[in-house]
Amino acid sequence: MTKWVYSFGGGSAEGEAGMKNLLGGKGANLAEMSNLGLPVPPGFTITTEVCTHFYKNDETYPEGLKAEMAAALAAVEAIAGARFGDAANPLLVSVRSGARASMPGMMDTVLNLGLNPQTTEGLAKLTGNPRFAYDSYRRFIQMYSSVVLGMDHGIFEEILETEKESKGVDLDTDLEAGDLQRIADLYKADVRKSLGKPFPDDVHEQLWGAVSAVFGSWMSPRAKTYRRLHNFPEDWGTAVNVQAMVFGNRGDTSATGVAFTRDPSTGERVLFGEFLINAQGEDVVAGIRTPQPIAKIVRERQGGKKPSMEEAMPKAYAELKAIGDKLEAHYRDMQDVEFTVQDGTLYMLQTRTGKRTAEAALRIAVEMEREGLIGKEMAVGRVDPAALDQLLHPTLDPSAPKDVIASGLAASPGAAMGEVAFTADDAEKLAADGRAVILVRAETSPEDIHGMHAAKGILTARGGMTSHAAVVARGMGRPCVCGAGMLKIDAVGGTMTVGSTVIKRGDIITIDGTSGQVFKGKVPMRQPELTGDFGTLMGWADTVRKLKVRANADTPMDAKHARDFGAEGIGLCRTEHMFFDAQRIIAVRQMILADEKKDREAALAKLLPMQRSDFEAIFKVMEGLPVTVRLLDPPLHEFLPNTDEEIAEVAREAGGDPAKLRQRAIALHEANPMLGHRGCRLGITYPEIYEMQARALLEAALNVVEQGGAAVQLEIMIPLVGFKSELDTLKARIDAVADSIRSERGTVPEYLIGTMIELPRAALRAGEIAQTAQFFSFGTNDLTQTTLGVSRDDAGTFLNEYLSKGLIARDPFVSIDREGVGELVTIAAERGRKTRANLKLGICGEHGGDPDSIDFCHGAGLDYVSCSPFRVPIARLAAARAALTNRQDSD
């Protein structure tokens, strides 16, 4: 028979900390604290299974719940020495939510439940404190009416403020018992007027109403949004905790507060938090009164005048400090606790693992290892890899005022501020003048690369998480907000409009690529600081992980950043980005628009020394680490001249006819270029392009060694292969170039030839392709597009709808689609290694920097992941956590 209710209190409990899935985090930890003998008011937890039943059965409760609740309530009465609904000695309870993972502020709470005119009068006589009794009653009416009856909270605030004005007082604590009784009566009158029925006096009706409201809040819009943002499944449900009330508003010997066992911002080992004397819990967070610090040292640092809890209530503070130390030792993690002091006696109302900044997480993990609380592997598991973004990029000052004007996708983390520029050329010019710039575009293209490089941040109205802007921004370490669809951008007129706000060229905006928000004007920032704790933890992570971590790097600067962050090679060097330099684009266009091979070769001859120089610089930085270079991949249309002026410029350089060049550009136009004449198809139809690149690579590798550098581990990657015959043809061309260089220079560097698996056919025919390929690199950006039939640049227009409706759990361009794309990766890995046992396997799409996708790659048996340089630390830590998680699963 299913058990629906679990009791706790009086030094024991029916549950324990390991039952979070059933009892929720709050219920499991209340049970655990009770079992530890800590001062926990008695209560009971209604399980998450009741919530699941509630929603599966037209919001009805399972048979037997009523009887179990009655028995549990009787047990609470026995421990508390009071009776629920008794006029002379009333038991009051709180009703709170408690999902298995913390969702602060997302669901509902009701305090002081069990009060009505009779029990309030009885409470006043019992305590000899009518003011406390009527303060509790008016609070209960206000909270219950808002949470359970659905009334506007502001109505009651207006009544309260009116009464305070009439009495000439500023604080609630200055009101007397008679004032509070009159306010309670006014509250109830407003309820009857608004709802056409009286406020409920039956305490059992109150209890069931509050329980239903808490279960109902699981499906509130804010809770749904929070779950979607944190990837919490809807079917988890919430538990409900009913607990005997203790009161922090019984006078100057009572208080309530929240404390962290370490500073959640810095990680310092100090009892950090706030409390209020003569108050209830909601007062601490409501902002009506200014809370006071817990510890004296914190008060002194803040320059506060009111005493800390350590000074005002030294006995209760010492107990709280001792309990905090005990909880830290028990849970072996920093704790976030809620407490109440009633008439000088301390009670614990909650403990949970405390949320913290990345800086604090690092410090706490490292210091707890040094203190002997946890081991190195547990320390590695304590830091969320994604949170490291906070340490690697500037962030907005959380206390600064902000004027949010738009929001989009958080495409590349960090914050940036600068003057708005609407073209890449304009951005470059402004940056050259020493001005900070935000490049604002409807969407970016490869031709914007110079402006993106010059800008401090990038904002686009269109595009998704793997759009051109997002991918390039992450690679450069530039903050980026994409897909801010509410923006109307007029690049010609030099304006950006959102609602009634018009931003002009040169106006200042701030973007936050971590939250996806856009702000008008300047917002103060905090610069990242990497402490010694960072290096310590990353060193521990590197000893645990199995996956190697490389970087996607296209320039020597990218390569240096990658090395600085601990990359073990380059997993993707995109050669096309080298072609968009102003000095080179004309030669590229000459090559593309040439009708005859000799003209193409003339243009390529101009590019050869430039490419060779690029590769030499990258190889020198990498100092013998593996470098995977992808030969030219993008559709030719991305390089084509768009204006008459650009066509005329190409014609002048090539000595050709502009009209003829225009016709050639029109002829090369494609209806669907991403599935058109690109990748290896370019190498098949224009083999001299890949031959030039192969020569540049091999000669560069030789030159580096001749100049005293380390031998290059060169991996030449041929993109978009779908047929083994394509790879065979192009490998033969590259080998012929190598033979030619051997004849010319007497030697040729060692090199591997492999392919990018980015088409479903290639994944399915991997066994055959591996007969020729010496390595596979999974290009999961395009593999996701071609598997799902979804354009990554257009996905933002509908994927959010899919996410909000629960049709998909994660954006497949952010975190790999394990069941679809992931299965193709697994198939390709298995079939490829069946043919070639030592086949090197890696991933170089944007998923290479996503912790969840890295966990998949570990499980799939890949050798390495490759990501943008600024995500290398994240990947290193995620790879370590994947190794630890999979080891635990196998145990």
Whether 475 has a pLDDT exceeding 70, the answer reads no
Tokens for 742, please give them. Answer: 């051997």
Three-state DSSP string of 802-869? HHHCCCCCCCCCCCCCCCCHHHHHHHHHHHHHHHCCCCEEEECCHHHHCHHHHHHHHHHCCCEEEECH
844 in active site: yes
What pTM, to 2 d.p., does this model score? Answer: 0.77
Question: What does the pLDDT average to over 260-276?
Answer: 90
Question: What does the pLDDT average to over 126-150?
Answer: 94
Q: Where in 37-121 does DSSP place strands (E)?
A: 43-46, 83-84, 90-91, 93-99, 109-113
* pLDDT number for residue 370: 96
Whether 315 has a pLDDT exceeding 90, the answer reads yes
Please report, rounded to a whole number, the percentage of residues in the chain having pLDDT higher than 90: 68
Tokens for 656, please give them. Answer: 């050709």
Please report, rounded to a whole number, the percentage of residues in the chain having pLDDT higher than 70: 97
Question: What does the pLDDT average to over 153-182?
Answer: 89
pLDDT tens across 31-45, in order? 999 999 999 999 999
Question: What does the pLDDT average to over 849-864?
Answer: 96
pLDDT tens across 58-71, in order? 999 999 999 999 99
* pLDDT number for residue 574: 92
* pLDDT number for residue 464: 65
For the purposes of burial, counting CB atoms within 10 Å of the CB of 449, is it exposed (0-12), middle (13-18) or buried (19 or more)? buried
Whether 74 has a pLDDT exceeding 60, the answer reads yes
What is the DSSP track for 635-650?
-GGGGS--SHHHHHHH
Question: Exactly one of 468, 577, 847, 858 is catalytic; which is it?
Answer: 468
468 in active site: yes
Question: What does the pLDDT average to over 423-427?
Answer: 93
Characterise 441 by phi-psi region: left (phi > 0), alpha (psi -120 to 50), beta (else). Answer: beta
Q: How far is the first Cα of the chain from the last one, in angstroms, to the nearest whole number?
A: 31
pLDDT tens across 751-802, in order? 999 999 999 999 999 999 999 999 999 999 999 999 999 988 788 788 888 8
pLDDT tens across 638-666, in order? 777 777 887 787 777 767 778 877 887 77
- 304 near 292, Cβ under 8 Å? yes
Residue 449 pLDDT class (50, 70, 90 cuts): confident
Average pLDDT for the chain: 91
* pLDDT number for residue 233: 86
For the purposes of burial, counting CB atoms within 10 Å of the CB of 520, is it exposed (0-12), middle (13-18) or buried (19 or more)? middle
- 846 near 471, Cβ under 8 Å? yes
> What is the Rg, in whole angstroms, of the alpha carbon atoms belonging to the chain?
33
Question: Exactly one of 844, 857, 858, 867 is catalytic; which is it?
Answer: 844
pLDDT tens across 695-717, in order? 999 999 999 999 999 999 999 99
* pLDDT number for residue 286: 54
Q: Cα–Cα distance between 150 and 420 in angstroms, integer?
A: 45
